[in-house]
A = this chain, B = another copy of it.
Amino acid sequence: MTAPRRQPGRQTQARIVRAALTLYNRLGEPNVSPNKVAADLGISPGNLYYHFASKNRLTETLFAAHEQQMLTLLQTAPEVRDVEAAWFVLHRMAELMWHARFVYRSQNDLIGRSRWLEQHVTALIEAHGQAMLTMLEALHASEVLRLWASAKPRLAQAMVVVQTYGLSYAYARAPRQALEPEAENQAVCHAAAQVLALLQPYATAPNRTHLEQLLQRYDTLAT
């Protein structure tokens, strides 16, 4: 009888992905070489290149994992019919974006990195916009929001911009703190609050009050 295979190759690949994500988030994707990831893990550069033939392959793998999580979350948009559900989706999205903050910190660089990244970054932004529009339609149909027709696409776009660049804004305001791991709670709460606040002026009376309560809770958590 043989012992179960431990698949050391798979384990190494997962360790590389985890270490690269940490370094990308901390230093910015353009500032991390595959050799730095290998050194951080204490493995040889050759071993890393065996799993990822180029830095672009590594970056694409990390982006694909984030994309998958985002698309799964965005699929729930048609079921968002009350303030709590909107709050849950928007908070969860802020968390996902924080955990892959290297994407949003260097988005323009990633777009120029490879054709694959250009296409996938662009496609994710479009899917995001479509999902926000779907969510707004659902909230309008449930009379949580009162939206006139031309307001819907404009509000959906503003939501995407505020979500996508909320971290860049926080970074520009406080470059030495905003993207450090300790800032996580504040950053996620602030990002979620900023996008919920966009909905508030369109909310029907009891929902506007409910949103104000959530926003005030966020203000407390984010300071």
User: Which residues does A use to contact B, with CB under 8 Å?
Assistant: 28, 105-108, 111-112, 118, 121-122, 125-126, 150-151, 154-155, 157-158, 160-162, 164-166, 168-169, 171-175, 193-194, 197-198, 200-202, 212, 215-216
Contact check, A169 vs B175: say whether CB atoms are below 8 A apart. Answer: no
Contact check, B121 vs A161: say whether CB atoms are below 8 A apart. Answer: no
Contact check, A161 vs B169: say whether CB atoms are below 8 A apart. Answer: yes
Report how far A162 CA is from B165 CA in the complex, Å: 9
Residue among B154, B166, B175, B216 making CB contact with A194, cutoff 8 Å: B154
Contact check, A172 vs B28: say whether CB atoms are below 8 A apart. Answer: no
User: Within 8 Å CB of A126, what residues of B?
Assistant: 173
Interface of A is mostly: helix
A-B contact pairs, 9 of them (CB 8 A): A28-B112, A126-B173, A150-B212, A154-B200, A157-B169, A158-B194, A161-B162, A161-B194, A165-B168
Report how far A171 CA is from B110 CA in the complex, Å: 12
User: Within 8 Å CB of A158, what residues of B?
Assistant: 158, 162, 194, 197-198
User: Within 8 Å CB of A28, what residues of B?
Assistant: 108, 112
Contact check, B198 vs A111: say whether CB atoms are below 8 A apart. Answer: no
Query: Would you give the shortest CB distance from A4 to chain B, in whole angstroms?
Result: 45
Contact check, B212 vs A175: say whether CB atoms are below 8 A apart. Answer: no
Query: Would you give the shortest CB distance from A101 to chain B, in whole angstroms?
Result: 11
User: Within 8 Å CB of A193, what residues of B?
Assistant: 154
Contact check, B111 vs A108: say whether CB atoms are below 8 A apart. Answer: no
User: Within 8 Å CB of A198, what residues of B?
Assistant: 158, 198
